[in-house]
Structure 1
Amino acid sequence: MSQERNYSNDDFEDKQSTVDVDTYENDSVSALQERTFSEEVLTDEVEQQGNHLDDNQNSKKEKRTSFIKELLVYVVIFFIGLYIIPNYVLQRTVVDGDSMQNTLHNEESLLIDKISYVVGDPKRFDIVVFYPYGKDVDEYYVKRVIGLPGETIQIIGSDIYINGEILKENYGKDPISSAGIAKNPITLAEDEYFLLGDNREISFDSRYKEVGPVHRDYIEGKAFLRIWPLNKFGFVD
């Protein structure tokens, strides 16, 4: 004999309540999960935006730093080219007149080496640029070194004597006809040089009392390279 189970309305309501509660709990969990996920996504987006802003700021800083470095490099190059090189390394000069013929000619352009005389002294037969009246006077000459510090110079006839011995050289365009102050022996001081132009008939040089022996400090540098005219480009002797 079978048994039948009767469900009352209360039982049905209890079951319905249980289902509703479960559904509410599931909905709440889902909503909470969705909210948590949304918050995580939002946090990631904020972090990405923050990282992007940081990257932009770093990029701008790097660009500013790079610009400043490049600017400093150009300033240094400009300073070296405008001040250091002309004053301490190389200088362009132009021959004015015919006193150095046949070695140099009027309006030829030369490069002057200054650094050599910072580490060393002029040598005999160097062609030098010097200020005969001091560097405060903007007038320079180009001549050849003949006598060195401490030597005794004398010109007898067309011959140059150094410490009583004839100097063997062939730089003169023509024989000397005027000894000037070197007619009598001249003993150079420890900072003096005796300079002559190669065109000795017209050169205004150490033979004249207005110039005389030249102080070491007045010698600016050594002429070593002819840069104009181009067909004569090369080292000078």
Structure 2
Amino acid sequence: MRRRLVLGRRKGLSFTRRRKRIETSAIQAGLFWAGECILAFAIGCVLVFYFMSRLTCVGQAMEPSINSGNSVLVNRFSYAMTTPKRGDVIVFKPNGNKNAHYYMRRVIGVPGDKIQVKDGFVYVNGDLYETGIGNEQMDYAGLAEEELKVGSDEYFVLGDNRNVSEDSRSADIGNVKKSDIYGKAWFVAYPWDNFGFVTSVK
């Protein structure tokens, strides 16, 4: 009888130890997971701080994609090894004017493209260019009234809200030189109702 009691106690102690080991393992796993999350967050903050700049969108030219007053994260190194693609939203100062505010506009024409605004719509290399964004008929053709060719290391840009946008149609801006591009508009950080990645289109 005594032997059975001793065995029962040993079994009880063994179960308690196993339970404590399981609880300890669960705590360790939780701490490890929390540590990984903190590390990932810290790395993310460093990357954002190093690679990104935070700029405020000025004006309504990029609505509805980016609204006036939106705080936008700009990747300053997007084009260090690559070139802007049609549909990207780039950030630049027109003609390298250091006193101007940063402009955010969508790339429509890349080097070698032929651009024309005809009957209120933009044509790229003779084909109607439609993106699902900014396809309203334009009142103003400006420099693109006659077909123009985008030069080497230049980009033809338009705002998504084309009838209020000052862009490559205007002589004050014209084609944007790659050397004047600050970076790529990447993410709308504020306000929350427009929070999310800036959409590139084809």
TM over 0.5: yes
Distance of 1:234 and 1:217 partners within structure 2: 28
2:32 alignment partner in structure 1: none
Corresponding residue for 1:166? 128
Against the structure 1 CA distance between its residues 173 and 154, is the aligned structure 2 distance closer, same or farther, given a 3 Å change threshold?
closer
CA contact (8 A) 1:88 1:114 kept: no
1:137 is displaced (CA, Å) by 3.1
1:114-168 Cα offsets, whole Å, 9 max, x none, are: 2221011111111111110305334221110000011111110122111112112
Q: Which residue of 2 aligns with 1:124?
A: 86
Q: What is the CA–CA distance in structure 2 between the aligned matches of 1:85 and 1:135, rounded to whole Å? A: 28
Structure 2: how far apart are the matches of 1:230 and 1:102?
A: 14
- Does residue 216 of structure 1 match 2:201? no
Give the whole-Å Cα distance in 1 for the aligned partners of 2:111 and 2:175: 10
Partner of 2:190: 228
Q: Does the CA-based 8 Å contact 1:149-1:193 persist in structure 2?
A: yes
| Matches of 1:88 and 1:179, distance apart in 2 | 39
RMSD over aligned Cα, in angstroms? 2.0
Kindly indicate whether the alpha-carbon contact (under 8 Å) linking 2:79 and 2:183 is maintained by their aligned counterparts in 1.
Answer: yes
Q: Give distance in 2, aligned partners of 1:214 and 1:152.
A: 15
Equivalents in 2 of 1:191, 1:207: separation in Å? Answer: 18
Q: Which of 51, 56, 65 is equivalent to 1:89?
A: 51
Cα distance in structure 2, aligned partners of 1:134 and 1:194:
15
Residue 196, structure 1, aligned to residue 163, structure 2:
no
TM-score (norm 2): 0.71
Q: Cα distance, 1:87 vs. partner?
A: 9.7
Contact 2:87 2:106 in 1 (8 A): yes
Answer yes or no: is 1:112 the counterpart of 2:50: no
Q: Whole-Å Cα distance in 1 between the matches of residues 132 and 48 of structure 2?
A: 32
| Structure index of larger Rg | 1
State the secondary structure of the residue aligned to 2:98: coil
Structure 1 segment 1-237 matched on structure 2, within 5 A: 89-134=51-96, 136-172=98-134, 174-237=136-199
Bigger share in helix = 1
Question: More relative contact order in 1 or in 2 (CA 8 Å, sep 6+)?
Answer: 2
Equivalent residue letter for 1:102: P
Unaligned ranges ≥5, structure 2:
1-45
Residues 1:173 and 1:156: Cα distance change in structure 2 (over 3 Å): closer
On the 8 A contact 1:88/1:115 being kept in 2, the answer is: no
- For 2:192, the aligned partner's letter is L
Q: Please state whether the residue corresponding to 2:90 is helix, strand or coil.
A: strand
Match for residue 26 of structure 1?
none
Contact kept? 2:95, 2:177, Cα under 8 Å: no
Tell me, in whole angstroms, the C-alpha distance in 2 between the residues paired with 1:88 and 1:117.
15
Count the aligned residue pairs.
154
SS at match of 1:201: coil
